[in-house]
Amino acid sequence: MGDAHELADAHDLLKALAVVLGVSAVTSALSRRLRLPVVLGYVVAGLVIGPHVPIPLVARPEIVHTLSELGVTLLMFSLGMEFSFGKLARVGAGVVLTTVVRCCLLAWLGFAVGRVFGWTMLESVFTGAIIAISSTTIVAKAFEEQRVDGKLRDLVVGALIVEDLVAVVLLATLTALATGGAIEPVALAKTAGRLGVFLAVLIVAGMLVVPRALRFVVSLRRADTTIVASIGLCFATALLAREMGYSVALGSFIAGSLVAESGEEKTIAPLVEPVRDVFAAVFFVSVGMMIDPDLIRERWLAVVVLVAVVVVGKIVSVALGTFLTGNGTRTAVQAGMSLAQIGELSFVIAGLGVSLGATGAFLYPVAVAVSAITTLLTPWLIRASDPVASWFTRRLPQPLQTFTTLYGSWLERLRGAKARSDARGRMRRLVRLLVVDAVALVAVVVGSALGAESGHAWLVRRGFAPELASATAATVVAAFGLPLGVGIVRVAGRLAETVAGVVFPAADDGVDLAAAPRRALVVTLQLACVLIVGAPLVAITQPFLAGFQGAQLLFVVVFVLGVVLWRTTTNLHGHVRAGAHVIVELLTSQGRKPARSGEAVAAPVELAAILDGLGEPIAIEIGATSPAVGKTLAELDLRGRSGATVLAITRGESAMVMPSAHDRLDAGDVLAIAGTRADVAAAREILSGVDGPRRASPRSRKR
């Protein structure tokens, strides 16, 4: 009987593999033919062979699910091999910070959607985690197919590296949260402490043993030994994590990162890749098998809302974060439209919630439906990002166009500036104050939420009427919390003023020519600091609040700062116009012309010294053979293609200050161009007829 049972199990396993791989081969080939992501083909294969579609091709779900665990393990192992602390350092602090803040913002939006639809607290938390992470696989494939490279690719890949790390942290946190059964600070602190100890021991012991052992294995020059040792390490670490109560994804990711630290990942990754691809296909098929069309039909409104939140929320948040780190509006819009999806790690998070019983069965197919729709949109969004970025840049109000052009040059100047020791010390002190105020505010909010009932009861026992007790408790909380919130805004302003003072030092002669750009930079940096601190605060405290009071307060502060920023950009536009008039007078008074078209006009003084805050302005003559001759600024799209702005155009004795998009260029015109060094260089290439690859659209990058 035992032998017969074992033979039946082996037969079922063989049948499941044959059905899964056979059907997925057909659907993935069709996906390739239709130029769709291959992941969608695997998901469709799972839908075909799953129990919810009446097609006579069925594989046992429990066997496919078991095999899919191998896919998750190998997928996270491969992601770990692509991660290293060296890569994280090269990404840059700005990308790391804005990516973490963006994930917090999307997590809050997902949580809010879940609560609006009446889902449980844990279901809402998992929903936020599901939509917070973009898809490394889908974006990488889309970039490869559309030949996207250069700065845009570096920014997006850097953000995806950070998001993968955030996903691993979320997996560990959600595992502890789901097994704990409640959101309580004491329980969370204990589970976080156990997780920290586990990770510290595993990483320290792994760093001492794994890199040396793998270097020895690779030195044997036997591919079979190398792949067996590598995958054995992956499964062993995943099993250890599972035995300790954490997910296999966490353990396999750590194993992959230990391989990366050995320096042999370029040798091991190609060997693991074929095995990973086979079992990753099984994983995505298992995802499709769990799709219940009836559940999706019942939850169609949630799917539509989450798709809108993912697409709009990620485009706006990614674009804003990319711009605030000094990358220009064009690159910011392109980066935002490249990351507007969820993918494979979202499946892993959703599956974790179902397997731990933390979420209802409906959440998994909803997540898959959202992923499928956003995956289908991703290639189109990437292709459309270039014209959309150009359209957006042209449609900005003129004061904002001036501000967005010059802001990047200010941050470029900040990176090259050497702050005095007292300024650096003041910055560090203000950053510490921001952190202390934020932590204290979290403690006040969480403590008041957890102690609300007991505090109210204590006041009632002391003779307070119930209404008076509630009002008294609210007053006490406001008395502690409001000064901390105001302090965060004020400290953010002082930090912004200190940083802006490094970029635009105060004048010694009493004539402050940099007042307008300095004020615009101060308000922008203050707004950035408020978002950087406020978004994680709202995400952390939201599960402990009955409503959305934290988000409402943050919105009010951001709105007020936004209004102030608009006013300062209007003043900045006037400052730049005044500088453009001075530049025009300088250019018309000099009779010298460049030797060749596209070269800078020699000037008696540096244009940047005329008015502070204009970036790196230069003057360029339009030659007779320039492609700009006869075109309007709108047709040339100089701002959209280069990021630079035209301050003035001189034509003989006449001049146009801050020209409009409808002004036409003629041979012999001299253009005063402002922006970052890279923007000005790109504008010079365009005007001389050499459009470099830096600003090329994804569709133009064909090999």
Q: What would the pLDDT profile of 241-292 be if each residue is shown by its tens digit?
A: 878 777 777 788 888 888 888 877 788 888 888 888 888 788 888 777 777 7
Residues 318 and 235 in one domain: yes
Spatial CA neighbour of 576 closest among 651, 646, 654: 646
Gap between the terminal Cα atoms of the chain: 62
Residues 89 and 140 in one domain: yes
Domain's final residue, options 368, 395, 422: 395
Q: What would the pLDDT profile of 398-436 be if each residue is shown by its tens digit?
A: 888 888 888 888 888 887 777 667 778 888 899 999 989
Inside any domain, residue 622: yes
DSSP, collapsed to helix, strand or coil, labels residue 653 as: coil
Domain's final residue, options 522, 550, 566: 566
Provide mean pLDDT across the span 154-171. 80
Burial of residue 546, with CB atoms counted within 10 A of its CB: 0-12 exposed, 13-18 middle, 19 or more buried: exposed
Q: Which two tokens stand for residue 277?
A: 């691809």
Inside any domain, residue 112: yes
Provide mean pLDDT across the span 556-581. 88
Residues 322 and 413 in one domain: no
| pLDDT attached to residue 72 | 76
Query: How many domains are contained in the chain?
Result: 3
Residues 325 and 342 in one domain: yes
Residue 550's domain comprises 398-566
Residues 122 and 257 in one domain: yes
> Is residue 25's pLDDT more than 60?
yes
| pLDDT attached to residue 284 | 80
| pLDDT attached to residue 307 | 93
DSSP, collapsed to helix, strand or coil, labels residue 658 as: coil
Question: Between 41 and 457, where is the model more confident?
Answer: 41
Inside any domain, residue 521: yes
- State the Cα–Cα distance between residues 627 and 649, nearest whole angstrom: 17
Strand partners, 620: 600, 671
- CATH for 266: 1.20.1530.20
CA 246 to chain centre: 26
Inside any domain, residue 7: no
Residues 169 and 267 in one domain: yes
Inside any domain, residue 506: yes
DSSP, collapsed to helix, strand or coil, labels residue 621 as: strand
Inside any domain, residue 42: no
Provide mean pLDDT across the span 187-200. 70
HSE-up (13 A, CA, CB side) for residue 437:
22
| pLDDT attached to residue 604 | 37
Residues 244 and 326 in one domain: yes
Inside any domain, residue 571: no
- State the Cα–Cα distance between residues 217 and 346, nearest whole angstrom: 34
Inside any domain, residue 623: yes
Domain's final residue, options 395, 418, 444: 395
User: Is the whole model's pTM more than 0.85, yes or no?
Assistant: no
Residues 359 and 414 in one domain: no
Residues 264 and 234 in one domain: yes
Spatial CA neighbour of 336 closest among 309, 313, 314, 308: 314
Instruction: pLDDT band for 10, please (50, 70, 90 cuts).
Output: low
Residues 96 and 161 in one domain: yes
Residues 311 and 245 in one domain: yes
Provide mean pLDDT across the span 550-559. 89
Spatial CA neighbour of 131 closest among 357, 345, 379: 345
Residues 260 and 189 in one domain: yes
- CATH for 630: 3.30.70.1450
> Is residue 592's pLDDT more than 60?
no
- State the Cα–Cα distance between residues 392 and 334, nearest whole angstrom: 11
The percent of residues above 90 in pLDDT, for the chain, comes to 9
Query: Which sign does the torsion angle of CA 428, 434, 435, 436 carry?
Result: positive
